[in-house]
């Protein structure tokens, strides 16, 4: 695997040229396991017993991009096993183990900015792109997955309204609202455009997008919660509350002190969600003043 130039294309582009070098690498990996209780582990197909590649957490006790003493997720697979979901499946298992094993707030990952497939694996695994930094002369993505955003097989990413999974979920939300709102749907739809929303969360369950939410500035101290939706099959699992908490945390990070929202009286499950998460009813605001079908809420952050 490590002698394949394509495998090493985005890893300093230095394929291994000798078995002695491989033995050296294996020795380093074994030492990491002994010292830190974790390292890169072999990934094996249980049905065939074939070795597919490796995946695991590496402990960095040397500085990297301004960080030190942290755990980094890494993976590498034989070319013939690319595109089959093994990297995502293995990464999620390692992430679950890592948060259960170590008392840490975050896991990190890096990948070359040109390595689109690796970026997709990290996003499906719940990692958020934080920044791009210079790693040995190459522009490199720095990803982070916070414990508070990790819920086993459900993970949440930050993005914006151009994300295709958000667009797809919103389309399903609008179809549902068209039925619930009836003749009033056109009125509400004019206030639900998403083209310019900068702060969007998408929730994933086992790699599939299952829920979303967004916040949009209302004034200097207030964010409005928009486009909250969870697919029917995944309701009752706490995903909506996770999304809501994530949006509130994001708003607070941005310096806002209050969240407000509007929902419809024909959406009792939504009303229950907001009350459960300590939102209080307020007089209808803005365009919702005088609209009998609307119920408005706020929460001080």
- How far out from the chain centre does Cα 185 lie? 31
pLDDT tens for each residue of the chain, 301 residues long: 878 888 778 776 677 788 898 899 899 999 999 999 999 999 999 889 999 999 999 999 999 999 999 999 999 999 999 999 999 999 988 998 888 788 888 999 999 999 999 999 999 898 999 999 999 889 999 999 998 787 666 778 899 999 999 999 999 998 888 776 555 545 555 555 566 899 999 998 877 899 999 999 999 999 999 999 999 998 887 789 889 988 999 999 999 999 999 998 888 989 999 998 899 999 999 989 998 889 999 999 9
Residue 159's region, left for phi above 0, alpha for psi from -120 to 50, else beta, is beta
Identify the H or E element spanning 210. strand 208-219
What's the pLDDT score for residue 166? 94
Find residue 281's DSSP bridge partners: 297
Can you give the pLDDT at residue 60? 96
- How far does CA 217 lie from the centroid of its chain? 22
Task: Look up the pTM and report it.
Answer: 0.54
pLDDT for 180 equals 63
Q: Beta strand pairing status for 208-219 and 199-205?
A: antiparallel
How many residues does this entry show for the chain? 301
Parts of the chain belonging to CATH 3.40.630.30 = 19-150, 154-300
CA nearest 139: which of 171, 168, 115?
Answer: 115
In this structure, what token pair is assigned to residue 214? 């967004």
pLDDT of residue 172: 92
Name the fold adopted by 154-300: Aminopeptidase (3.40.630)
**Environment class of residue 32 by beta-carbon count within 10 Å: exposed (0-12), middle (13-18) or buried (19+)?**
middle
Within a 13 Å sphere around the CA of 7, how many CA atoms are in the beta-carbon half? 17
CATH class of 19-150: alpha beta
Beta strands in 249-293 (DSSP E): 258-264, 280-282
């Amino acid at each position: 695997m490590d002698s394949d130039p394509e495998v090493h294309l985005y890893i300093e582009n230095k394929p291994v040229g000798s078995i002695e070098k491989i033995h050296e690498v294996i020795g380093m990996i074994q030492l990491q396991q002994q010292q830190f209780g974790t390292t890169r582990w072999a990934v094996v197909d249980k049905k065939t017993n074939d070795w597919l590649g490796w995946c695991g957490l590496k402990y960095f006790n040397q500085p990297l991009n301004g960080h030190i003493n942290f755990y980094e997720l890494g993976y590498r697979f034989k070319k013939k096993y690319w595109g089959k979901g093994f990297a995502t499946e293995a990464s999620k298992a390692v992430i679950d183990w890592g948060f259960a094993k170590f008392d840490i707030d975050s896991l990190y990952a890096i990948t070359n900015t040109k390595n689109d497939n690796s970026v997709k694996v990290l996003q499906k695994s719940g990692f958020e792109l934080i920044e791009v930094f210079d790693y040995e002369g190459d522009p490199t993505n720095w990803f982070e997955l916070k414990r508070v955003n990790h819920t086993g097989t459900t993970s949440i990413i930050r993005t914006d309204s151009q994300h295709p999974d958000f667009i797809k979920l919103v389309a399903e939300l609008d179809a549902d609202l068209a039925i619930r709102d009836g003749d009033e749907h056109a009125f509400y739809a004019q206030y639900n455009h998403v083209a310019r929303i900068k702060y969007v969360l998408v929730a994933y369950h086992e790699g599939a997008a299952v829920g979303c939410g967004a916040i949009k500035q209302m004034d200097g101290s207030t964010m409005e919660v928009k486009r909250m939706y969870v697919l029917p099959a995944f309701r009752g699992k706490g995903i909506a509350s996770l999304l809501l908490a994530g949006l509130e945390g994001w708003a607070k990070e941005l310096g806002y002190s209050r969240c407000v929202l509007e929902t419809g009286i024909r959406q009792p499950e939504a009303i229950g969600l907001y009350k459960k998460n300590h939102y209080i009813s307020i007089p209808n605001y803005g365009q919702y003043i005088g609209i009998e079908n609307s119920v408005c809420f706020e929460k001080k952050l």
